[in-house]
Amino acid sequence: MSARDVFIDGAWESGEGVAFESVCPATGAVSWSGHGASPQQVVRAVTGARAAFDHWSVEPRQRRAEILVRYRDQLAARKSEIAETISRDMGKVLWDAAGEAGAMIGKIDLSSAAQSERAGTKETEAAFGRLQLDHRPHGVMAVFGPFNFPGHLPNGHIVPALLAGNTCVFKPSELAPAVANIMIECLVEAGLPPGCLNLVHGGRDTGAALLESDLDGVLFTGSAKTGIAFHRHFAGRPEIILALEMGGNNPLVAWPPCDAAAAADIIAQGAFLTTGQRCSCTRRLILPEGKWGDDVLSAVAARAEAIRIGPWSDETAFMGPLVSAQAAVAACTFQDMLMARGGRPVVALTQQEPGLGFVSPGIIDVTEAQDVPDEELFGPLIQVTRVATLEQAFARANATKYGLAGGVVCDDDEVWQQSLVRMRAGILNRNRPTAGASGALPFGGSGLSGNHRASAWYAADYCAWPQASQVAPKAARMQAVGFPE
């Protein structure tokens, strides 16, 4: 793998930076090893993208779309390989990784349709000729990928960026780098010209070098801490387009009337899917005081205790490990902090095997806890708060600096209508898990969840800028009061 660390201007080469490896958190086996890109290689990658932009940006849109369709077909042909690569790299159970591979394939057609709707062309007649609207690419975009969806999420930036005529430099997460190489291979087979997509593996040093290079935009999915640092880095530079998706501390309000068992299914799915490693997972459960709330909480606890946990190869497992043994320890430490501040364990999260990433699901009642931090724990841990009124439930739901996802489980239409106007969340689901989003809708939120650059269907908005024109067929004399004849 050492000769395939970096892909610059259409050619693979060895990385000249720091050596690193990715270790599967389910087995401890090395899933990827190599060297990161050096600062000089990052500069070359950006320079190559800049040169490629001159011809890629003026290619007919249909030509760009045809290449991306062939990319879709290449992904489909290697779907099983992509899924297993993701699973071996970051531990995701195989059926979940197969879903991610499917989302990567579906992204091409969705992005093409979204571009036509949101960033296409439009002409209308005017008295002097016509009004014309078109969209132009920004230039060179840096794409930073996360570990939880190492294929789907960066793919969701790269595909619309390329369709719009941009070129890209892709830095995957060092915790799950392996699938990036397959993505590059598929695009090369599809006929993407050299320089249009470059790959630089590496850690923080590689990312820092990329931020310091000659960019026109940064497309990022990851933690709020990192996203804020990116935003601060480009302060005072409005010419740089930033699309930042930074997660959330997501609430779900469960309220009667509703079947308690059905509510528990929705809650458990939203909290524990992908071992809690989705930015839209349920982090905070808000329940009413009384028997119905007791019944729901007992049912969620029963599901948490019964969830099957196993390695990615276990076809019967619902949850795999967290991304690393360090992440498992961090989840336990976070839970200890909650209990030290007055949280009561309903079901305690525990690390299953030292040195690996396996943890069991946890539920902590924080109703009486004090000074609970508004932080996103990326793991299968629910914080439960009991309230007396629906008004209090909405207040608790909005008591966060984030605003990515939220949910309401209730059969009362009036409660749902109130939720739509009262709850502050970019993705707000009813009687569905919070960790469920459609690529045919925007994906993004308010507060520290991002910078109002929603992705998915709305990615077309940040991948191109609008160009408005007034067009007359021929030059004609202009007349105005006080203007010389």
Q: For residue 45, which of 37, 55, 34 has the smallest C-alpha distance?
A: 37
Q: Which residue of the set 84, 100, 174, 245 is catalytic?
A: 245
Rounded Cα distance between 408 and 266, Å, is 10
Residue 279: active-site member: yes
Residue 245: active-site member: yes
Q: For residue 156, which of 38, 75, 237 has the smallest C-alpha distance?
A: 75
Q: Is residue 79 a contact partner of residue 98, using CB atoms and an 8 Å limit?
A: yes
3-state SS, one letter per residue, for the chain: CHHHCEEECCEEECCCCCEEEEECCCCCCEEEEEECCCHHHHHHHHHHHHHHHHHHCCCCHHHHHHHHHHHHHHHHHCHHHHHHHHHHHHCCCHHHHHHHHHHHHHHHHHHHHHHHHHCCCEEEEECCEEEEEEEEECCEEEEECCCCCCCHHHHHHHHHHHHHCCEEEEECCCCCCHHHHHHHHHHHHHCCCCCCEEEECCCHHHHHHHHCCCCCEEEEECCHHHHHHHHHHCCCCCCCEEEEECCCCEEEEECCCCCHHHHHHHHHHHHHHHHHCCCCCEEEEEEECCHHHHHHHHHHHHHHHHCCECCCCCCCCCECCCCCHHHHHHHHHHHHHHHHCCCEEEECCCECCCCCCCECCEEEECCCCCCCCCCCCCCCEEEEEEECCHHHHHHHHCCCCCCCEEEEECCCHHHHHHHHHHCCCCEEEECCCCCCCCCCCEECCCHHHECCCCEECCHHHHHEEEEEEEECCCCCCCCCCCCCC
Q: Which residue of the set 196, 279, 281, 463 is catalytic?
A: 279
Q: Which residues are catalytic?
A: 245, 279
